[in-house]
């Protein structure tokens, strides 16, 4: 969780409506980077606003401009009541229910997405409103915003809370904000889902790297057969993700003694070892696709209606539907759950003497004490894996019911899919850390010197070994949290050194 300080530590980011990426967004939101729009974007905003003002002045029906919204779309809004209507629309949709609130970084990211979307001029909001949002990104502490209230057909309730916050600013009073359509433009967007998903997808990349690391550790500890990740095997198929994961594993195991003839204990390992590059490779491909989808959505206009400057009118649409986003995340959740499933199998096989050749659970000989099972690590992993499988159930086909007198009769449920994805990633860090812990324990049990391991695994092994209660199990309560922290710290340091 990031604090509310007004200090900006990141480089400025210029928003043009077409080139924002997940990586840029997450970095800007976390570092509190200053934002600006291009002059071309400012011109588009001004031209788009003229169309909305023309529709408002004509009195002709224009959804959300001269009419109500949703099930009240057929009721006119009198010209003299436009600002009052827009203010009340934001307040009315801002209903609080208590419970979870969004991290401040995600609120800031949602505002950045708004400015990027508005810079295309298709929403028809005023230039002072865009400047107001930009000023808040650059100068203000973020408000408390609920994480509830979206079904994936625009993030109405959390975005209304943001809209109400903006409309109470002194600058809003000065420039007559909100004007026609401006509340609708502020709330009829998937900005919260996009902000949350962008951050979760960046986390997912780190967790995939952790899954590759845990696989490499298990191969070392099990004395696995490395034919399964060999370049020759990868040349036999056209699976780009599998080839990438296998290359990553080979890199992690660079200069490992396990590559020497006679080091592998079996001619063929269990499938959880042998098929891991296939499974994690499929995950890698899905993750790349999901990031691609998200990058495209960050530069798309979901606000309804949009401005048609050429025809000087507005056009109603359903671009706020989030089905595409949900499909991308639903598949990823299943792929990560499958990856955790085989991680659980590998850490179990390492404790099973018939597979590993080590004492069952790495226990002390002729003793009821000791080993990883004595610490219930298998139970912890199994519980987390079970939760991940529950959270992996597809969201897209869940019914949203009938909302707004039947006008809203379908929704993409993208935020729900993203929220469950975040839960899976939290569980994944723990499960994969347990697998690494078990592997390091097995490496110690086999008496393998650190120098025999892949070069990239040696620092992890030394630091994790010092934290393991080998021979001291049960003397104190054991926690894997320091090990999770060590793994994250070393991984981040290695990434930083590569940049």
| CATH number belonging to domain 198-498 | 1.20.200.10
pLDDT in the model for residue 2: 34
Per domain, the residue ranges of the chain are 13-189, 198-498
pLDDT in the model for residue 6: 42
Helix (H) or strand (E) holding 437: helix 414-446
According to DSSP, the residues that pair with 307 across neighbouring strands are 314
Alpha-carbon span 472 to 379, nearest angstrom:
20
Q: What is the pTM of this model?
A: 0.94
According to DSSP, the residues that pair with 153 across neighbouring strands are 321
pLDDT in the model for residue 9: 56
Task: Determine the Cα angle at 160 with ends 325 and 63, to 5°.
Answer: 80
**DSSP label of 32:** T
The yes/no answer on whether domain 13-189 falls in CATH 1.10.275.10 is: yes
Token digits of residue 103: 């991290």
pLDDT in the model for residue 3: 38
pLDDT in the model for residue 275: 97
Orientation angle between helical segments 191-222 and 240-252, nearest 10 degrees: 50
pLDDT in the model for residue 234: 86
Alpha helices in 142-222 (DSSP H): 156-167, 170-174, 182-187, 191-222
Alpha-carbon span 119 to 422, nearest angstrom:
30
Give 10-residue mean pLDDT values along the chain (499 residues): 44 94 97 96 97 94 90 86 94 92 97 98 98 96 94 93 96 95 96 98 98 98 97 90 97 98 96 98 98 98 94 93 96 98 97 94 87 93 98 91 80 95 98 98 97 98 97 94 97 81
């Amino acid at each position: 969780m990031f604090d509310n300080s007004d200090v900006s530590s990141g480089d400025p980011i210029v928003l043009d409506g077409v080139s924002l990426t997940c990586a840029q967004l997450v970095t800007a939101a976390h570092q509190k980077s200053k934002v600006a729009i291009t002059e071309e974007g400012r011109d588009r905003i001004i031209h788009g606003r003229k169309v909305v003002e023309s529709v408002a002045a004509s009195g002709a029906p224009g959804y959300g401009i001269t009419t109500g919204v949703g099930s009240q779309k057929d009721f006119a809004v009198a010209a003299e009541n436009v600002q009052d209507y827009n203010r009340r629309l934001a307040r009315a949709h801002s209903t609080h229910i208590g419970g979870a609130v969004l991290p401040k970084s995600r609120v800031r990211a949602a505002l950045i997405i708004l400015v990027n979307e508005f810079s295309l001029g298709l929403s028809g909001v005023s230039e002072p409103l865009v400047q107001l949002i930009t000023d808040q990104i650059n100068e203000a502490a973020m408000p408390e915003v609920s994480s509830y209230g979206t079904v994936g057909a625009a993030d109405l309730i959390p975005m209304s809370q943001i809209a109400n916050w903006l409309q109470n600013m002194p600058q809003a009073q000065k420039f007559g904000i909100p004007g026609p359509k401006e509340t609708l433009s502020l709330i009829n967007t998937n900005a919260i889902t996009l902000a949350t998903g962008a951050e979760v997808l960046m986390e997912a990349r780190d967790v995939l790297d952790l899954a590759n690391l845990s696989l490499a550790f298990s191969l070392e500890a099990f004395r696995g057969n490395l034919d399964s990740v060999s370049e020759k095997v990868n040349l036999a198929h056209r699976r780009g993700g599998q080839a990438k994961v296998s290359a990553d594993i080979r890199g992690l195991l660079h200069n490992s003694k396990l590559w020497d003839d006679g080091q592998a204990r079996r001619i063929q390992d269990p499938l959880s070892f042998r098929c891991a590059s296939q499974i994690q490779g499929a995950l890698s491909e899905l993750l790349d696709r999901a990031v691609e989808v998200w990058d495209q959505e960050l530069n798309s206009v979901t606000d309804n209606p949009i401005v048609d400057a050429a025809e000087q009118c507005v056009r109603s649409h359903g671009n706020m539907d989030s089905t595409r986003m949900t499909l991308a995340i639903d598949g990823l959740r299943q792929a990560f759950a499958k990856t955790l499933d085989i991680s659980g199998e590998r850490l179990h096989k390492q404790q099973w003497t018939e597979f590993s050749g080590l004492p069952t659970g790495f226990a002390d000989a002729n003793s009821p004490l000791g080993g990883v099972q004595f610490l219930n690590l298998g139970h912890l992993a199994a519980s987390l894996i079970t939760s991940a499988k529950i959270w992996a159930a597809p969201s897209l086909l869940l019914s949203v019911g009938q909302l707004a007198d039947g006008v809203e009769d379908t929704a993409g449920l993208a935020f729900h899919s993203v929220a469950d994805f975040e839960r899976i990633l939290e569980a994944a860090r723990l499960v994969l850390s347990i697998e690494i812990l078990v592997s390091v324990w097995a490496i110690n049990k086999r008496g393998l010197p650190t120098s025999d391991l892949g070069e990239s695994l040696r620092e992890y092994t030394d630091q994790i070994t010092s934290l393991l209660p080998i021979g001291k199990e049960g003397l104190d309560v054991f926690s894997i949290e320091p090990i999770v922290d060590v793994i994250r710290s070393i991984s981040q340091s290695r990434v930083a050194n590569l940049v």
